Chain A
Amino acid sequence: MKSKRHSCPVCDYPGLLEPPRSPSGGGSYEICPSCGFQFGVDDDDKGITYTAARATWIAKGSPWTSKGTPQPKDWTMKKVDQKAPKKKTVKKTVKKKKA
Chain B
Amino acid sequence: MNAAFTLTRHLRLLLGAAILFIAASVQAVELAETPKVQVDSTTATIFWKTDVDCGTRLNFGTSADALKQRRDGPVSSTHTVTLDSLSPGTTYYFSVGSARQKLATGTFTTPRTGSPSAAATPSVPTKAAPRPLPPLPAVAPAPPPTRQTWGNPQSLVDHYERHGPDFKSTNPDDYAAKAWTFLQQAKANAWPMKLDDSDGTLRVWNGQSGSFAAYDRNGKTKTYFKPGSPTYWQRQPGRPIKPSQLPFK
Contact = CB atoms under 8 A, between A and B. Distances in A.
Interface of A: 17-18, 22-26, 28-31, 33, 36, 38, 40-41, 44-47, 65-69
Contact of B156 (A33, A40, A68): A68
Contacts of A41: 223, 225, 227
Interface residues of B, number: 28
B228 A31 contact: no
A17 B154 CA distance: 11
B239 to A, nearest CB: 10
A29 to B, nearest CB: 4
Given A44-B232, A45-B227, A45-B228, A23 B199 contact: yes
B238 A24 contact: yes
Contact of A29 (B198, B222, B235): B222
Contacts of A28: 199, 222
The 7 A-B pairs at the shortest CB distance, nearest first, are namely: A29-B223, A22-B199, A23-B198, A68-B157, A24-B198, A24-B237, A29-B222
B196 A44 contact: no
B53 interface: no
B155 A68 contact: yes
B149 to A, nearest CB: 15
Interface string B194-233: 0011110101000000000010000000110101110010
Contacts of B25: none
B162 interface: yes
Interface in B107-157: 152-157
B-side interface mostly: mixed
Interface of B: 152-159, 161-162, 196-199, 201, 203, 214, 222-223, 225, 227-229, 232, 235-238
A46 B228 contact: yes
A30 B198 contact: no
23 contacts: A18-B199, A22-B196, A22-B199, A24-B197, A24-B199, A24-B238, A25-B237, A26-B238, A28-B222, A31-B155, A31-B159, A33-B154, A33-B155, A36-B158, A38-B223, A40-B214, A40-B223, A45-B232, A65-B158, A66-B157, A67-B157, A68-B153, A69-B155
B214 A29 contact: yes
A30 B155 contact: yes
A38 B237 contact: no
B161 A17 contact: no
Contacts of A45: 227-229, 232
Nearest to B161: A67
B182 to A, nearest CB: 14
Given A38-B162, A68-B154, A68-B155, A26 B199 contact: yes
A22 to B, nearest CB: 4
B229 to A, nearest CB: 5
A56 to B, nearest CB: 15
Nearest to A23: B198
